[in-house]
Structure 1
Amino acid sequence: MSDSLQNRLIQTRVVPVLRYGDAESALYAADIAIRAGFECIELTWTIPNVLDVLRNLRQQHGAAVLLGVGTLMEEDQAQRALDAGADFLVSPGLATDLVAPAHEAGKLCLLGAFTPSEVMAAIQARADIVKVFPADTGGLTHLAALRAVFSSTLFCPTGGVSAQNMHDYFRAGANVVGIGSSLFDKQAFAARDTDRLLAAARHTLEAAHGKPA
């Protein structure tokens, strides 16, 4: 099952990383992203009542949308996320304890890494995808250097990736990218300008699956 999930996640090209201070905003953002055509959503553990948000989305969309929980740091968090229906787990660092419960459940685990040694540790821990975080700290040359050494590793840079620079990251070696706060215009989101938000999200998704300008 995990191979199928891995292929689906990679094919999405972009994972919206939703980090909000209340559950209602997270649900609204997820609804916009899914209506725009995104087939994968990452909810951060920092969202209040995040597991209720996850269950709500799972009830609405079933298996049609890949749902993950990020900013996980402990095995107990991982198990609770899996029990609530997560398809994939994401950690900002080398939380290797997350891998076993994810794989036992037939789900994916993305471990955060930045240095070559951390990438090696993530590979040795059997992470399905290595999350290069924070991506913008090292930038494109850093990712390209990692890709040159770890040619068969799947990379997902997150942190500073946007619709404007995502193709630069793809060229540097990303297999999939995580886009967080830049996915939605803050003023449009605060105003709940659904039409504007949908149009921008669709444009980002179309651009991700098309060719860079």
Structure 2
Amino acid sequence: MPTHATLPRWDLLRAARVVPVLRYHDSATALYAAQVALRAGCRAIELTWTIPNVLDVLQATRADSRLSGRDDVLIGVGTVLDADQARLALEAGADFLVAPGVVPDVAELAAAAGAISMLGAFTATEVIAARAAGADVVKIFPASSGGPGHLSALKAVFGDTFFCPTGGVSRENMAQYFAAGADIVGIGSNLYDKDALAQQDTDALVAQVRQVLAEAGVK
């Protein structure tokens, strides 16, 4: 169980299984990708701080989710590097914050706001530091550097830690990460077919994401 996160949000995150990690160079593409994720049935969406006007994208995604009757969707901000970014994201309504490393301020501010925190780690020492900082979730990043075997070794030591491998996770290998001990996975650019995204082929993209969710066991 998490240290700080409110129970309803925590239950939603556990059920999400797959978190699209949306990182784009323009806000219009990011918003479109988020809309696809909503339509496909994703229960959590991460918008990275590197998206231009990311907080506007967050609020637009929230409005879209409510219009479509998806009030149960968690929308968070990733690549949060300091307290100032964390505060702004929470003020904009982020349900969760994600840092690529151990940033104690992120966990502290999320806890105070009743939001979920994910702190990045790769080594056992970093996992210990993330837990000590109050992280609700430890994000193994970059997951591809160690692969499922690395996650399995960490899970054997930190069995009560909620892990989310991110970075190099795809439809083809996510089952291996789940078998290794992942509770949820973050999938970035591998989630959407690049040609379909460029053409804004919504039906094809939605079908693709729904297949990923089905294979991840989302009901």
TM-score (norm 1): 0.96
Deviations 1:12-43 (A, max 9, x none): 10000000011110110011111011111000
Give the aligned partner of residue 7 of structure 1: 11
How far, CA to CA, are the matches of 2:95 and 2:41 in structure 1?
18
For the aligned residue pairs, the C-alpha RMSD in angstroms reads 1.0
Could you tell me which of 18, 29, 36 is aligned with 1:32?
36
Residue in structure 1 matched with residue 154 of structure 2 by the alignment: 146
Give the whole-Å Cα distance in 2 for the aligned partners of 1:99 and 1:143: 22
- Quick check: 1:55 aligned with 2:63? no
Partner of 1:170: 178
**Structure 1 counterpart of 2:84:** 76
**Which structure 1 residue ranges, 5 or more long, are not aligned?**
none
Identity, % of aligned positions: 56
Partner of residue 183, structure 1 = 191
Q: Secondary structure at the match of 1:183?
A: coil
> Deviation per CA, 1:154-193, whole angstroms, max 9, x where unpaired?
0000000001111100000000000000000101111111
Residue 117 of structure 2 is matched in structure 1 by 109
The superposition leaves residues 109-165 of structure 1 with CA deviations (integer Å, 9 ceiling, x where unpaired) of 000000000000001111000000000101111100000000000000000000111
Matched position secondary structure for 1:148: helix
Whether the 8 Å CA contact 1:111–1:127 is kept in 2: the answer is: yes
Q: Is the 8 A contact 2:15 2:43 kept in 1?
A: no
SS in 1 for 2:216: helix
Is the 2:35–2:64 contact (alpha carbons within 8 Å) kept by the matching residues of 1? no
User: Residue 48 of structure 2: which of 40, 44, 56 is its match?
Assistant: 44
Matched, 1:22 2:26: yes
Kindly indicate whether residue 167 of structure 2 is the aligned counterpart of residue 159 of structure 1.
yes
Structure 2 residue aligned with 1:129: 137
TM-score (norm 2): 0.93
Which amino acid letter does the alignment assign opposite residue 6 of structure 2?
Answer: S
- Structure 2: gaps (5+ residues): none
**1:23 is matched by which residue type in structure 2?**
S
The equivalent residue for 1:204 is: 212
Q: Distance in 1 between matches of 2:202 and 2:136?
A: 34
For 1:39-58, what per-residue CA distance to the aligned partner results, in whole angstroms no more than 9, with x for missing partners? 11000000000000011112
State the SS of the aligned residue for 2:51. coil
Runs of 4+, deviation exceeding 6 Å: none
Q: Does the CA contact (< 8 Å) of 2:30 and 2:51 recur in 1?
A: yes
Whole-Å separation in 2 of the counterparts to 1:57 and 1:190: 20
Amino acid at match of 1:25: T
Any idea what the Cα deviations from partners look like across 1:66-125, whole Å, max 9, x if unmatched?
000000000000000000000000000011111111111111100000000000000111
Q: For 1:151 and 1:178, how far apart are their aligned partners in 2? A: 20
Asked if structure 2 preserves the Cα contact closer than 8 Å seen for 1:6 and 1:128, the reply is: no
Cα distance, 1:59 vs structure 2: 2.1
Alpha-carbon contact 1:74-1:95 (below 8 Å) kept: yes
